[in-house]
Amino acid sequence: MPSFNEQFAHRRRLLQWLSASPLLASPGFSFAGVDRPSKLPELEANAPLIGKPEEAINVFDFEPVFFKNVPPAHVGYMASGIDAEATLKANREAFSKYYLRPRRLNDVSKVDMSVDIFSVKYPNPIFICPTGGNKAYHPEGEAAVARAAKTGGHLEMLATPATTSMEDAIAARGAPVWYQLYASPKWEVAEALVKRAERAGSPVVVVTVDRVAGRNQETFFRLRKNDTRECKGCHSQDLQQSVKRKPAYAGIDLSGLPNLQSANMSWDFIKRLRGATRMKIVVKGILTAEDAKLCVANGVDGLVVSNHGGRGEDSGRATIDVLPEVVDAVQGKILVLIDSGFRRGTDIAKALAMGANAVGVGRPYLWGLGAFGEAGVAKVLEILRTETRVAMMQCGVRTVKEFTPAFVRKV
């Protein structure tokens, strides 16, 4: 275990590297991103880090505290896109191409943010995206996230590589949690993972379909070099050893698998899955109208417009740009969710107006987790709920259902 002085030296090297890095000009590293008020750079450069969640003004206030607390390699893994990170940047920049159209003289003294998803009512339209290995950012990991989700009444998805079991996540959430599936190349592994989640009480399986190849995570690879900790205990070339801290894989034989990617997945897999589980099936990673129509044709219950937060491919196209064609393609026949790049209540309002049934956040709650644990996650989600409510009120919208595409225009 590194000493305090060694940990401080690691953080200092990381911050020195970041200060000279082009990452700071990326919206993924928002110290100088598009969300920072352009008139206050000097003040913000000299502002102290927040010392407790209550001091945060927006979700970005948690990011530098996360950087301070979390080891460099874990920071890099969380923050990375792939290749040139064009998609990562586009996810943020694209929101500036759309504006909301405020409507006046509507009584918005009472706003109902609730949404109905698969006959379950949630008090707000913001869901917790599946992110793996949360104990890399805080010892309480996904359990802390689940408790914060309970506080705010959020739908939550738990990732296959979570460091907390589905049983423990459901207990912490106090309600069912959806299961996000990384299928792997072997049907028997996918089947075992899904059946375990179903036995634990998960009602929905979210099949991720965009992890079909390796990825060049340049930010992660560069920051990993600045991390001098001994990591072999958690990271191994042997698949069975590499998932030792991930409860979903306990007792599942991974022998013979070259990797855990699902390059061989096809629509036949979805049909087979339908016959293997009573869970509802949602496909995550849809980015075209063509594939959205295939989701409908193949009888899935919903889809997630997602580019994995810029970690799946580097096409350079943001999910908010994709959303209209997907909504038009499905014609209301199945659930449409969206994630990737959402940081503001106005971002969420734009997606709801464009036809999304709910909106997912990932990195922001991880910033909160790494900064202050459960309290940090809860505050991040509270800020997003507050901003979304304000955006609804400014649009003259009293319920999420009142949002229509008429509330959004493209610049």
Residues with a catalytic annotation lie at 308
- Which has the closest alpha carbon to 210: 137, 320, 273, 303? 303
Cα–Cα distance for residue pair 163/181, rounded to 1 Å: 14
**CA distances (Å), origin 211, targets 163, 207, 263:** 19, 10, 7
Specify the residue for token string 């874990």. 74
Q: In the numeric block, which tokens belong to residue 137? A: 């950012």
For 81, half-sphere exposure in the C-beta direction (CA atoms, 13 angstrom radius) is 26
- Which has the closest alpha carbon to 154: 388, 393, 391, 405? 388
Phi–psi pair at 24, nearest 5 degrees: -65, -15
What is the distance, to the nearest Å, from the Cα of residue 173 to the centroid of all Cα atoms in its chain? 17
123 three-class SS: coil
Phi–psi pair at 112, nearest 5 degrees: -105, 110
Largest interatomic CA distance in the chain: 65
Cα–Cα distance for residue pair 244/237, rounded to 1 Å: 12
**CA distances (Å), origin 68, targets 11, 352, 356, 378:** 6, 34, 35, 20
- Which has the closest alpha carbon to 295: 285, 283, 312, 305? 283
Specify the residue for token string 């296959």. 160
CB 343 within 8 A of CB 92: yes
CB 302 within 8 A of CB 282: yes
Specify the residue for token string 């997606």. 351
Phi–psi pair at 114, nearest 5 degrees: -70, 155
CB 62 within 8 A of CB 376: yes
Q: Which residues pair with 158 in a beta bridge?
A: 179
Q: What Rg do the C-alpha atoms of the chain give, in angstroms? A: 21
**CA distances (Å), origin 141, targets 138, 171, 193, 242, 291:** 5, 14, 20, 18, 34
